[in-house]
Amino acid sequence: MDIDFWLERWNNNQTGFHQQSINPYLVYFYGDKGPPVEQRDKLRVFVPLCGKSKDMLWLSQNGYRVFAVECSERAVKDFFEENALNYKFAVKDQHALYQSSELASQIEIFQGDFFEIQPHDMDTVSDIFDRASLVALPEEMRQSYVNKMAELQRSGTRTLLVTLTYDPAEMKGPPFSVTEEAVHELYHENFSVQKLLSKQVINEESGLKNRGLTSLVETVYKLVRK
């Protein structure tokens, strides 16, 4: 599943993965239950394969700095424009970087290929929010994604990872089904893996139900880079 596949989806408005609401797990673990408000400006949250997710706006409004990556220029511009945010465009190390210009907690989006990010871009990243990112990739790309994640993170970096599990015979991804066994297999070498919760969500996902799914389990993990 290459970048052209996703650029075409953005161009054809096939963006059913985009949510108008803020992800409830992000709000739960990074809101009142999360780091104290006065410490949040020291935290920089990386959002891989970010699309135009409103979760980035929520993070910024709640005091976190945001660094994100998205291959689609259209998605990045839509994010700033639909949320009425002014932005600056810069070229850094030959890559396109969009930066909010007025928010107290800055949002920076690298527009390009996730696999081109370098560890120095992630210097001050403390946390990662992975929703619809790992599960967006087919099985054959997962290990490269996780290896790149491990290369990019310093020890102690925390990830909130949201996965989906369903019977692959019922639907062709994306999103792809990722089992608990697969998460442990992919991450255990370089990360501690803690399952936080699991929830049956098929009745909240009418789009995926219409594609044939009879069960869809969302699982949330906390990963910490060793």
Judged by the rule CB under 6 A, the positions of this chain that interact with ligand SAM are: 3, 6, 17-18, 49-51, 53, 69-72, 75, 113-115, 131-133, 136, 174
Output the CA torsion sign for 115, 119, 123, 125. Answer: positive
In the block, which residue shows the tokens 């790149």?
148
63 or 112: whose CB is closer to ligand SAM?
112
* Residue 140 C-beta: closest distance to ligand SAM, Å: 14
Nearer CB in complex with ligand SAM: 73/185: 73
| 155: nearest Cα among 76, 52, 226 | 226
Nearer to ligand SAM by Cβ, of 3 and 90: the residue is 3
**To the nearest whole angstrom, how small is the minimum distance from the Cβ of residue 178 to ligand SAM?**
13
Q: Output 70 or 108, the one with its CB closest to ligand SAM.
A: 70
By beta-carbon proximity to ligand SAM, the closer residue of 26 and 183 is 26
Instruction: Tell me the closest approach of the beta carbon of residue 135 to ligand SAM, in angstroms.
Output: 7
**Smallest gap from residue 212 Cβ to ligand SAM (A):** 18
Provide the minimum distance between the beta carbon of 54 and ligand SAM in the complex, in angstroms, as a whole number.
8
Residue closest to ligand SAM (Cβ) = 51
* Residue (of 162, 152, 108, 107) closest to 130 by Cα position: 162
How far apart are CB 23 and ligand SAM at their closest, in Å? 7
Sorted by sequence, the CB contacts under 8 Å of residue 36 that are 6+ apart come out as none
- If the CB atoms of residues 24 and 41 are measured against ligand SAM, the closer one turns out to be 24
**Terminal Cα distance for the chain, rounded:** 29
- 123/44 Cα distance (integer angstroms): 9
Cα–Cα distance for residue pair 64/82, rounded to 1 Å: 20
